[in-house]
Structure formats: C-alpha cells, structure tokens
Chains A and B, each alone.
Chain A
Amino acid sequence: MGHHVVRRATHCRRRSRRLGPRARAPRLSVMLAALLVLACGGAPTSGAATARAARTYSLTDTGHLHRTSGRGITINQELSEQGSASGTIPGTIYIHLKVVSVNRVTAQLNIYPSGGSITASASATYRSAGAVASFTGTLSVLHGTGRFSHAHGSGLSFTGTVQRVNDAITVRLSGSMYT
C-alpha cells in the first residue's frame, strides 16, 4: 500500500502560537500561559496522544455494487447501491448516484474499511449507450472516521459503468488520499 508517514505539530504547540498575540491584558496572558504549561507540560500523555501519523494513500480501488431497495419518490431519480470494494482500501461501499442531467451525474460515496470510514463526493460526465451507461469524472474525499478520521483529498479519478437492465454499478477510484 505504498504510503509515507509525516509527523505533525502537536495540537498544543499550534494553540499557544495562536493565542499569543491576542492576549492583551498581561494578567490574562500569564494565566493562560500557566494553563497551557499545565495542559501541555503537566500532562505529557495527553499531549502525546494528539500526535498522529499523516499518511498518503495511493488509492486504486474497484467496487462492485447492486441496487438496494429504494424508498420514496427519489427511487426513480437516483441509484442507491451497496457492494464491496477491493484494492488499496477494501471494505463495504455505498453509493448514491444521481443523474442530474442527460449527460451528468453526481455521487455520494461511503466506504467502510476496517477501523474507520471514508465519505466522498463525485461529479462526472454520463454517457448512456445501449445496455451500458458509463461515467467519468473526479472525486473529493470529504472526511472520515476512525483511522481515516482526517481523510481528505481531491481530484481523484472516478469512473465506472452502470448495467442499465439491473442497475449494477462497477466503480473505479484512483488517486491520492491523505489522512
């Protein structure tokens, strides 16, 4: 899974820099400094807990999905699908694909790999030609949870096909995601 690790500045160091210029009253700044010393120096374990490893994931994932039973009036306006993704981050994948015009789709994706989740949105051109429709566009990773809690990224490749007779979707994601 070729990824690299980068140490980030601790939460406390960033906060102390931000508060410095704002402290106008000398007494208040002294009190805040004391509090910060207590928080950062006095409790080293909590400071250490905020340090985390930033990673870059080079995603190359493929998902195979089937339509889940839709509800309500939007059942004919968008495809709600569930399936499994394989590749860099394998897991359960959900997609809501909306055909917003005759040649454009938008999508919301949720992937649940072990230890967390990733939420993304995508926009793509859409081409329907006979039994198979295809889409090609870009994806942005919006946020995540668990070990992907700081997931972000944009400009990832988002392509796929829809088997129009049964709405089965195959989706391919590739590009860099950062945590």
Chain B
Amino acid sequence: MPRLPAIAALALSALCVLAPNAQATTERASLHASFAPDELGAPTTITFGFDLSTAEGTAPPPLTAMDLRMPAGMGYARTTLGLALCDPAALLARGLAGCPANSRLGYGSARVEVPFGTGAGHEIPEVQALAGPSTTGNTVVLFYANGLYPVAAQLTFAGEVLPDTGPFGSQLLANVPLVTSVPGGPDVSIVHVQATIGPSHLTYYRHSHGRLVAFKPRGVAAPERCPAGGFPFAAHFTFQDGGHASATTTVPCPRPHPRAARHAR
C-alpha cells in the first residue's frame, strides 16, 4: 500500500507546521556563584545566578522546578539571617511591606521571555528572598517576584533547604509556579536569575533599651576548608515539557589571609 506512507508523512509534516513548539527541545543551563567576602570560615553573602536557554538559542519552556546544591561545610551556627518569618499570604497581598524586615534573606532580579522567543527578554527588577514558615522543620525560603511587564503579577513560591551529601552540604529545592504573560496568554519562561542569600544590602532591627536599633545580620559562614578545585555548586532544572538541564560551577579557593600566611611561614 504505497499510499499509506505518503499520507503518514504528510500528516507528520502538517503536525510540525501547525505545532512547531511540540518539537523536542534540548534545554541548556549555566550557573555561576560567588562569596562576598571570599574568606575561609567568614560570614558571607552567597551570590548565585543561572541562565536557561535551548540548544537552538531560544528561550526554554517554562521552568517548573529547580534544585540548587551548595558546598559542604557552610557554617549555619551563628547566622542571624531570618530572625523573623514572613507569612506567604501577607507577602502576596502587600508585597515586601507585608513582611518583617528581619525575615529578608536576600534579593535579586530575573529576566523572562515568552517560550521560544528570541528577544532579549524582559527584566523583573525585584526578586526578594525571605524566611518563611515551615511545616516540616526544614528552613523555608520564600521567593517573591514583582513583575510589571510582560508579567503584570506578583509571584510567590517557596523553596525548602535540605541536607545533602558528598561534596554538597545543602540543597534548595523549589517548585516554580507557571505564570502567564497576559491573561489567556502563554506561560513565561525564566531565562536568567541573579540573587543573593546573605547580609549584603540588608538591614535588620532589634529593640534595645526601648529603642529600635538597626543592625546588619550575620550571614552563613563560608566553609573552613576549601576542597581541591574550589567550592562546588550545582543546579538541576526541570521544565514544563518534562525536559531537564543541569549545570555546575565552583567558587575558587580564596587566597590565604595575609596574617594567616605570615603565621604559616
């Protein structure tokens, strides 16, 4: 029956023309991270960022989950980050003003794009990280993105900090909700995120002798020892189409502190 293959081929080509987005895509991710200050054992601000795309250079499908893994040996004993907790409902209703200043963990920005778009994307200038309430006993990080255009909405989602093994000490797991660009429009794709977790640019407040006193919170401490090759970071991303992408990076080992170097001699 020579006609059947011809019909099947026609049907396939028609499907491809009608639904170009249904083609299998290969998502790509890149990750970068840094410590400031970059000093062994010192409280620090962690900056991390990632870029997502397809092998074809277009915006990836919408992101649905991410898993960021951080190096082993980070010092959580004395951090004062997250002295208060932010209620997600208050955050969604009133924005950052709905949450205590002492619940802020960091801040950042993001860039979004319509799926498979090839434009430069649209900046979401305000991304906040806050400490949220937990039902499991694990630390919860709330992410809040305040979009104006093309995402005319406030977005809140939670990530959970869990212990990890091997070269990694902890991982931040988050399910990312889908956000439509405009009502009835396609879900947007995240193409870039840059964020901090740490005291940089944060101010906390405490009561002292009846007065409210501002202070800078103490960050999570960098590990006391640097493994060969640097501090490892890794991230795994899951997309709406079921695809995945992974990326790794390292923060180079810091140079020895001048005083420590003198003692070592």
Q: Is residue A130 within 8 Å, beta carbon to beta carbon, of the partner chain?
A: yes
Q: What chain B residues lie within 8 Å of A130 (beta carbons)?
A: 82-85, 131
- A102 with B139: CB separation less than 8 A: yes
How many contacts between A and B, using CB within 8 angstroms?
68
A window 135-179: CB within 8 A of B: 164-165, 167
Query: Is A98 among interface residues, defined by CB-CB distance under 8 A?
Result: yes
Task: Answer whether residue A61 sits at the interface, using C-beta atoms and an 8 A cutoff.
Answer: no
Chain B residues with CB under 8 Å of A97's CB are 77
Which residues of A have CB within 8 Å of B126? none
Answer whether A102 and B41 are a contact pair too, CB < 8 Å, given A79-B78, A129-B85: no
Assess whether A76 is interfacial by the CB under 8 Å rule: yes
Across the interface, which residues of B come within 8 angstroms of A55, CB to CB? Answer: none
B window 182-232: CB within 8 A of A: 206, 218, 221, 224
Write out the residue numbers on chain A whose beta carbons fall within 8 Å of the beta carbon of B134.
Answer: 127, 129
Say yes or no: A77 contacts B137, CB within 8 Å. Answer: no
- Is B253 interfacial (CB 8 A cutoff)? no
Contact with B along A69-99 (1 / 0, CB 8 A): 0000111111100000000000000000111
Q: From A104, which residue of chain B is reached at the shortest CB distance? A: B163
Please give, as numbers and ranges, the residues of chain A lying within 8 Å of B161 by CB-CB distance.
Answer: 102
A76 with B221, Cβ < 8 A, contacts A102-B138, A165-B83 known? yes
Please tell me if B42 contacts chain A, counting CB pairs below 8 Å: yes
Q: How large is the interface on A (under 10, 10 to 19, 20 to 34, 35 or more residues)?
A: 20 to 34
Pair B221/A77 contact, Cβ less than 8 Å: yes
Tell yes or no: A45 within 8 A of B by CB.
Answer: no
Q: Are A129 and B83 in contact (CB under 8 A)?
A: no
Residues on B close to A: CB < 8 A? 40-43, 75-80, 82-85, 131, 133-134, 137-139, 161-163, 169-170, 206, 218, 221, 224
Task: Say yes or no: is A103 at the interface (Cβ < 8 Å to chain B).
Answer: yes
List the interface of chain A (C-beta within 8 A of B).
73-79, 97-99, 101-104, 125, 127-131, 164-165, 167
A101 to B82, CA, bound (A): 17
* Residues in chain A near residue B78, CB distance under 8 A: 75-76, 79, 167
A130 to B131, CA, bound (A): 8
Chain A residues, Cβ within 8 Å of B206: 165
B176 → A minimal CB distance (Å): 21
Using Cβ atoms and an 8 Å threshold, which residues of chain B touch A78?
A: 77
A-B contact list, 14 entries, CB within 8 Å: A73-B40, A74-B224, A76-B77, A77-B77, A78-B77, A101-B76, A101-B170, A102-B138, A102-B139, A127-B137, A129-B133, A130-B83, A164-B79, A165-B206
